[in-house]
Each structure stands twice: as C-alpha cells, then as structure tokens.
Amino acid sequence: MRYFELSVKIVTDIRIAMSLSTILPVGPANPVDNGEIARASWALPIAGLLVGLVGAIIYAIAHRIGLRTEAAAVLALAATILVTGALHEDGLADTLDGLGGGRSRDLRLEIMRDSRIGTYGACALIVSITLRWITLATIAEPAAVAAALLIAHTAARSALPVFMWLVPPARSDGLSAGAGQPSPQSAIIAAGLGVLCLVIGFGPGKAIMGLILLSIAALIWGVIATRQIGGQTGDILGALEQVGEIVVLLMAAALV
C-alpha cells in the first residue's frame, strides 16, 4: 500500500508539472493547492523532456519530408512554443520590459504585470527565438537536434525549483508566490534530473561544462532579480528557463 501511495503521488506530481508547463489537459481533476505545486516542482524537468520530445518529433517529420534545415528548425521551435502556450516566452518579454523600462522596484513589478509587450520585451523575444533557431539549424542532423532539444528543455527546467528554493518571491501574490517554496528534497531531485540528462546527452566531461554554464547563468540572473525587484516572480522564472535553453543549445551547436 505504501508503494502504491508513493506511485500515485509521483504520477500526480508529474501531471501537475505538465499542466503548469504545457497546455495539455493532463492536470489533476481536483484543484491544486499551493503546497502541491511546490512539492511537484521536482517533476518540471520531466515536463521539459516532453516539450523537447514534441519539438524533436516535428523536426524529424519536417526533415523526413524534405524540408530545408532552416524550415525544419522553425517548425520544431514553433511546436515547443505552441505546446507550452508561449509561457516562458511571455515571462521573458515581461521581465525585460520591467527591468528595462522601470526606474523603481514597484514600477518594474507593475510593468511586468502588464500583458502588453514593449520594446525591450520584443527585442528579447527576437534574440531568444533567433538564437534557438540558428542553433537548431546549425546542429542540423535529426538525431543530434533531438538530443539537443531534450537536453535543453529538461536541464533548463531543472534549475527552476532550485532557483525558487534559494531566491525568495519578490511579491506576496502572483504565480511564484502562490506556488510556494519547494522543499530542499524537491530542488535536489530536479537538479539531479537535470544533471543526469546532461551526462546522458553530452557525456560526463561536457556535462560538467554545461552544469557550470547553467549555474553561472542562474547565479547572474538571481543577482539581477534580487537587486532589481527584490526576488523572483513567475516571469523571472520563465525568463530563466529561456536563458537555460539558449545556453544548452549554444553549447550543443558548438560541439557539432
């Protein structure tokens, strides 16, 4: 019975993580409270693995029917954006608008809550999408693209629970504050899944390099978020995911 209950909790956590990360209707039937979101955060890398798999399948199909590498890369990227509902892209745009356009902490947070996109946000999206598109087109070979997508989406999301654990919410309400603080156990499991994915995809030596690069990016982002708005928000987390994706994809492209 104990193992059955544990299995049910694991499946429930994965469903919660997938419902938070994608538009797929896989969430639990009953409402999810704050503690459950924080507890389920360890499964975010698994949700990322699914997102990467969607992109990999679309790329393989596009390549199979004879589309040019550049077009296949666009379709794969579009598929990952579609399946996530552009959640992380929205966070990136809102964050850059707030940090770039606000002169005070309160104004930055106010701008980040505004659904309208500004110049900083638009430029950030252009840079993010262009970099990811170019890296996929550079990698080109379907199996290598699939590996890069799986690693990038998994590893990028593995940093989110750790970030939420270490960096306090910037406001008392909102998505991040409502989700709660992950336990050390959830953060460690998520980080472990990310490291495992890096090791399997890149090998031990290059995985260490990837881990260092992701850690540096997360550290810099944490310092910026703390100094500019006093902590993290859902938008900050979305932007961090985008940064993580880009770091891993750039590394994968450099290793081709």
pLDDT at residue 231, as a whole number = 93
Contact present, 173 and 232 (Cβ < 8 Å): no
Question: For position 174, what pLDDT does the model report?
Answer: 67
Q: How many CB atoms are closer than 10 A to CB 11?
A: 12
Q: What is the mean predicted confidence (pLDDT) over 188-197?
A: 96
Cα–Cα distance, 132 to 127 (Å, whole number): 9
Quote the radius of gyration of the chain (alpha carbons, Å): 18
Q: What is the pLDDT of residue 66?
A: 95
Residue 124 covered by a domain: yes
What is the maximum alpha-carbon separation in the chain?
56
Predicted confidence at residue 124, as pLDDT, reads 97
pLDDT (mean) for 222-236: 94
Task: Compute the average pLDDT of residues 3-18.
Answer: 84
DSSP at 43: G
Q: What is the pLDDT of residue 94?
A: 96
pTM: 0.93
- For position 8, what pLDDT does the model report? 80
36-62 pLDDT, tens digit each? 888 899 999 999 999 999 999 999 999
How many beta carbons lie within 10 A of that of residue 104, not counting itself?
Answer: 10
Residues 157-183 have pLDDT tens digits of 999 999 999 999 998 776 666 778 899
Q: Regarding predicted confidence, which is higher, 75 or 11? A: 75
Residue 16 forms part of a structural domain: no
Mean pLDDT (the chain) is: 92
Q: Give me the domain span that covers residue 219.
A: 45-254
138-159: buried (b, 16+ CB within 10 Å) or exposed (e) per residue?
bbbebebbbbbbbbbbbbbbbb
Residue 156, pLDDT > 70, answer: yes
Q: Mean pLDDT throughout 194-223?
A: 95
The number of distinct structural domains making up the chain is 1
Domain membership of residue 19 (yes or no) is no
Model confidence band, residue 34 (pLDDT cutoffs 50, 70, 90): low
Classify residue 17: in a domain, yes or no. no
- Report yes or no on 22 lying in a domain: no
Q: What is the pLDDT of residues 63-121, one digit of tens each?
A: 999 999 999 999 999 999 999 999 999 999 999 999 998 889 999 999 999 888 999 99
